[in-house]
Structure formats: C-alpha cells, structure tokens
Amino acid sequence: MTAQVLDGKALADELRASFKERVATLAARGQRPGLAVVLVGEDPASQVYVRNKVSACEAAGMHSEKIVYPADASQSEVLAKINELNQDAAIHGILVQLPLPKHINEDAILEAISPAKDVDGFHAENVGALVQGHPRFIPCTPYGVMKMFEKYGVDLAGKEAVVIGRSNIVGKPMALLLIAAGATVTVCNSKTRDLASHTRRADLVVAALGKPRFVKADMLKPGAIVIDVGINRIAEGPDAGKLCGDVDFAAVKEVASLITPVPGGVGPMTITMLLANTIESAERILQERN
C-alpha cells in the first residue's frame, strides 16, 4: 500500500483565502484582527517561526506587532509588556514564543496573558476549558491536525490512537482533542517501554517527540494513519541542512494509508490556526462589545 499524502500546504492556503473576507468584515467594523508576538532571546529557530507568524498576519490583512527582547531581559520587563498588550484594543491575540530563557518562569509569563487573548491556548484557564470539552482557544498545532482530519474525512470515533510526545504545546492537547473525538488514546513518551508494542496496535499515530525519522515502517500496523509533527534539521550526510520530520517518510508511506509530509504537512497548518484563533478572538471581542 502507498499512502495518500495529506497536503497541509493546500489546506492552509484554502483556509487562509477564506480568512480574508472575515478580516475585511472585522476591519470594516473597526476591529482589524491584531496579533502581538513576543520573542525573548536570539534562538535562530524561534526567530524564523516569529518572522513567519508576523508575515502570515500581514498576508491575511491582519495587524501584527513583533516585540523582541534580548536574552537577558528581566521577567518583570516582559510581564509589564504583556500587561500593556492585555489592555491594547488593537491586539486580539498575544503569543510569547517558547522556549524562554532559563531565568524566566514560563508559567508566570503564560498565566499573565489575558485568557481572552491567549491564542496559543496555553493559559491554565484555557487548558482547563479544553480538558472539560468546551475549548476557547485550541493550541494551534493540534488544532491544525484536527482540521486535516476534518478535510480528509477521517472519522476518529473508536480509533486506537497513539500520541508520541507529552508536551503542553502538542502531545497533551492533541490527546485531549482525540479523546473528545471518541478515539481511544495512549500517550507515550521517550521513556515508554517497548514503544513499538503500542504503535503497532494503533490505527492512528501522531509523532511529536522531536527525533528525526524516529518512527519506522516496522513500528506500524499496515494501513495506519501517520501524522508527523516533527520539524528537524538534518545535521549531516547527503541530506544535511534539509528538514525532516519524526517519521521515516519514505519507508512509512509504503505501509500507512494516510501520511503527512515534512515540510508541507502539519507545519503550514500551525500558523494557519494561529491566524484562525486571532480572527476568532477579534470576532468574539466585537460580539461581546455589541
């Protein structure tokens, strides 16, 4: 079997085109959606992600602000900025790029963001709402994966799903969304004993562990659906400098039924859902005001 490749780029383009009208409607009512992205430090990957987020906003006709602090910025300085953004009527979404430098307490920063503008969905109040099954903001990467399932008609009810990775950004919210959709969910991590015994049972595997080409064909049941959330830069060998995911794509696509590529799979969907969350936030704020 050769898998159908899920085209995240095409779906992202389709969704972003549909956002333009919503953005124009909001702008006409004086509520152009605005996203503030805060970056602390000079991590090269984070710089690229932040740049991409800001340019995606611009392409969608949205307002955006990039706020950059040096790596030695104090926690109170960043908190003061967040408080200012919480009050700023032009800003509907606030995102603090992670990871933060070690001297800054990540929880303190995330909890300072107004839950009404928390477009990452990382504030405890929004995590709680997701756990309870009535989310306000769904974290962007798992939200993008769910949109791909919707687009390709994947019915999750009753499926055995294995999520590899337990991060707050991807693994945990992904598991919660799959549970809400009726899947039977196992969450594995780097310490899981005999990981392949879990993945071989799975109808659906979501790989979000951050290890290049970790998921091999012999770890999967034939016909499994494979979602690759990894973005790794290959350090050496013939493919040095290229991007690859957490899945050994070339071999796995011969056993899977559906698979996401890297690049062009989940990646473009993540930023798309950030735009979606920011637009939703602006629509909600406008509705509450009227």
97 flagged as catalytic: yes
Q: Cβ(146)–Cβ(181) under 8 Å? A: yes
User: Can you tell me which residue has the tokens 């990039």?
Assistant: 66
Taking the complex as a whole, how short is the minimal distance between the CB of residue 126 and ligand GUN, in angstroms?
Answer: 13
- Our finding on whether 98 is near ligand GUN (CB under 6 A) is yes
Q: List strands edge to edge, sheet with 63-69.
A: 63-69, 34-40, 93-96
Residues 120-149 that bind ligand GUN (CB under 6 A): 120, 140-141
Taking the complex as a whole, how short is the minimal distance between the CB of residue 53 and ligand GUN, in angstroms?
Answer: 9
Taking the complex as a whole, how short is the minimal distance between the CB of residue 30 and ligand GUN, in angstroms?
Answer: 28
**Catalytic-role residue among 7, 97, 118, 248:** 97
10 versus 48: smaller Cβ distance to ligand GUN: 48
- Our finding on whether 262 is near ligand GUN (CB under 6 A) is no
Binds ligand GUN (CB under 6 A): choice among 62, 95, 138, 187: 95
Q: Phi/psi of residue 147, each to 5°? A: -65, -35
- Our finding on whether 176 is near ligand GUN (CB under 6 A) is no
CA distance 75 to 99: 14
Query: 3-state class of 142 per DSSP?
Result: helix
206 versus 219: smaller Cβ distance to ligand GUN: 206
Rounded (10°) angle between helices 266-289 and 44-59: 50
Contact window for ligand GUN (CB under 6 A) among 90-98, 206-214, 218-226, 242-250 = 90-98
Total of chain residues touching ligand GUN, rule CB under 6 A? 8
- Our finding on whether 175 is near ligand GUN (CB under 6 A) is no
Render 163-217 in DSSP notation, one character per residue. EE---TTTHHHHHHHHHHTT-EEEEE-TT-TTHHHHHTT-SEEEE-S--TT-B-G
Taking the complex as a whole, how short is the minimal distance between the CB of residue 62 and ligand GUN, in angstroms?
Answer: 17
- Our finding on whether 272 is near ligand GUN (CB under 6 A) is no
Q: Cβ(7)–Cβ(151) under 8 Å? A: no
- Our finding on whether 96 is near ligand GUN (CB under 6 A) is yes
CA distance 67 to 131: 31
CA distance 159 to 183: 5
Taking the complex as a whole, how short is the minimal distance between the CB of residue 109 and ligand GUN, in angstroms?
Answer: 10
Q: What is the DSSP code (8-state) at residue 215?
A: B
**Catalytic-role residue among 120, 203, 228, 246:** 120
Contact window for ligand GUN (CB under 6 A) among 26-34, 95-103, 180-188, 228-236 = 95-103
Q: What is the chain's Cα-based Rg?
A: 19
Query: 3-state class of 143 per DSSP?
Result: helix
What is the binding site for ligand GUN (CB under 6 A)?
A: 95-98, 120, 140-141, 169
Q: Point out the residues that are catalytic.
A: 53, 97, 120
